[in-house]
Amino acid sequence: MEKRKLEVGDVVQLNPEHKFGGMILVVTEPKEFGCQGYLMSSTNFEATRFKGLAYLRASFEEFEYIGQSHWMH
Name the percent of the chain in helix, strand, coil, to the closest 5: 10, 40, 50
pLDDT at position 28? 95
Please return the burial class of 46, using the count of CB atoms within 10 Å of its CB with bins 0-12, 13-18 and 19+.
exposed
Q: Is it the case that residue 71 has pLDDT exceeding 90?
A: no
pLDDT at 32 over 90: yes
Mean pLDDT of 3-7: 93
pLDDT higher than threshold 70 for residue 42: no
* CB distance 35 to 58 below 8 Å: yes
